[in-house]
Amino acid sequence: MAYSTALPPHKLILGIDPGTQVMGYGLIEVTGAKVQVLQFGVIHLKSYSNHAIKLKKIFDRMIQLIDEYLPDELAIESPFYGTNVQSMLKLGRAQGVAIAAALSRDIPYVEYAPKKIKQSITGNGNASKEQVAAMLMQILKIQEVPKLLDATDALGVALCHHYQKGNNAKQGGKSWKSFLTDNPDRLAGK
């Protein structure tokens, strides 16, 4: 009996627009050529002055989303380079915590540069947040623009990943059992 190696006809992609003040998330369901929005929104972090608490809130909400929707893959925007080093470090930590939450549930992830996301959604790597949101409203048939465009940015990350066919997903979250199965020669005493 021959088995098909085609991509699964059904996939859930969780997109993340990382931030330390507001973090956007968007979840899309892909069935064949049809793409549907399941959920999108933001995690409000401005009210927390302690950076460690913000990171904990990001991790906790990511775990809630993952456990509720069981996404197949995580797509996340990579940090852009800025002049404020402290802001970049904090943003990188926020991104790392979101990735760690996915890896803790064995969900593969991929990062996309902001220009790559904008290019894949609008055809212009220098598009504004408003242009990305307007295009996503048309593509995904969203009725109302959210107040914070971090949510539509996250949907853009997920849709960009779908357009890339998920070819860049990294499975960094292998379990210890999987590692031992794949590397029997590494067991102590063998």
Structure tokens belonging to residue 26: 């968007």
- pLDDT score recorded for residue 145: 81
Would you say 144 is a known binding-site residue?
no
How many other C-beta atoms lie within 10 A of the C-beta of residue 175?
9
Would you say 60 is a known binding-site residue?
no
Q: Of the listed 73, 77, 111, 153, which one is catalytic? A: 77
Rg (CA), the chain: 18
Quick check: is 111 catalytic? Answer: no
- pLDDT score recorded for residue 4: 52
| Residue 96 half-sphere exposure toward CB, CA atoms < 13 A | 8
Angle, helix 129-140 to helix 114-122, in steps of 10 degrees:
50
Asked whether the beta carbons of 107 and 73 are under 8 A apart, the reply is: yes
Asked whether the beta carbons of 156 and 15 are under 8 A apart, the reply is: yes
For each of the chain's 190 residues, which pLDDT tens digit applies? 555 555 557 899 999 999 999 999 999 999 988 999 999 999 999 999 999 999 999 999 999 999 999 999 999 999 776 677 888 888 999 999 999 999 999 999 999 999 999 999 999 999 999 999 999 999 999 988 888 999 999 999 999 999 987 555 444 444 445 545 655 665 555 4
Q: Of the listed 29, 73, 111, 150, which one is catalytic? A: 150
Whole-angstrom distance, CA of residue 163 vs CA of residue 49: 37
Would you say 182 is a known binding-site residue?
no
**Structural domains in the chain, sorted by start:** 10-186 (3.30.420.10)
Quick check: is 77 catalytic? Answer: yes
- With b meaning 16 or more CB within 10 Å and e meaning fewer, what string describes 101-114? bbbeeebbbbbbeb
- pLDDT score recorded for residue 81: 67
Residue by residue, DSSP assigns 6-73 as SPPSEEEEEEEE--SSEEEEEEEEEETTEEEEEEEEEEE-TT---HHHHHHHHHHHHHHHHHHH--SE
The beta strands (E) that lie in 45-176 are given as: 73-77, 109-112
